[in-house]
With several copies, the nearest count.
Chain A
Amino acid sequence: MNVGVVVFPGSNCDRDMFHVLTDVFNLNAQYFWHEKGLPNNIDAVILPGGFSYGDRLRAGVIAAHSPIIKDVQKMAEKGIPILGVCNGFQILVESGLLPGVLLKNNSLNFMCKWTNLVVENNSTPFTSQFKLNQKIPIPIANGEGRYFVDETTLKKLKKHNQIVFKYDKVVNGSSDRIAGVCNEDGNVVGMMPHPERAVESEINPIDNKPSSLIFESLLSTMGVKH
């Protein structure tokens, strides 16, 4: 199965994601520079973290105007699994593929720390292997990571089961402690924490198994045995 890793000027977790996809989960991964198009034989797309365009104006907003985003939109409509991590999530939100907005953390500082997620929706292509309410120890690293939606949108998110991950405690002031959401169809998922930093035991001081299920869910969705 082929996973496309989209690279923008300023992306900086692309290589980490690529390593995890290829060396840890034995997938075929391929980089796609933001000016290029996505070919049809791609089975899933990942927008990795970083500082596309230096986070200028607002994290993700300039990258959301990249040519490749049109292809990502088309793939999203076709139901192909798409994951945005951190800056990738910000880009998905700014390009309208996901609802909400990511604001500066309440601390006003960049925050790098280990947190615990709770799985709220286990029917997306990236969470199908989880039990509901399962905990995931996982690091965050962001300055604009406070997910915000107004009350009406929040109701809609709940109604359509679009809240995928929550933090188990208040971390940055996000609405309803939300850490990740999906679109109505469930195939486009965005999350602020970094699963690619948590799936190897060598660098995960707590437990690398839960976060691995994010990628194993993708494998199983695609019908690949791991």
Chain B
Amino acid sequence: MATYTVHVTIENKPGISDPEGETILNDLVLKGSHKSVSKIKTAKMLKFTIKEKDKKTAGKKIQEICDELRIYNPMVSKVTIDVFD
């Protein structure tokens, strides 16, 4: 058994608006001094610490948890799962 850190990133699916990202962007653009930024998207991240027999199992387990416990709402969000040793 080893301990893994698993990052779960929850963000809006493409096509679903992200008012928070837009607001931050508009604050920037309106302020006028950071024209090189063209887009901002917000996401939420959960960093899990989990003990499993290997990396793959850890990732699978976390995916299960996310689906079963509705860590994200599949209607509007998607998750990305990254496992680190």
Contact = CB atoms under 8 A, between A and B. Distances in A.
A150 B13 CA distance: 12
Interface string A39-68: 000000000000001101110011011000
B73 interface: yes
Given A57-B28, A65-B31, A108 B76 contact: no
The contact size tier of chain B is 10 to 19
A57 B10 CA distance: 11
B73 A108 contact: no
A94 interface: yes
Contacts of A101: 73, 75-76
Interface residues of A, number: 21
A58 B73 CA distance: 9
A104 B23 CA distance: 13
B70 interface: yes
Contact of B24 (A62, A64, A149): A62
Interface of B: 16, 19-20, 23-24, 27-28, 31-32, 69-71, 73, 75-76
Interface of A: 9, 53-54, 56-58, 61-62, 64-65, 94, 100-101, 103-104, 106, 108, 148-150, 173
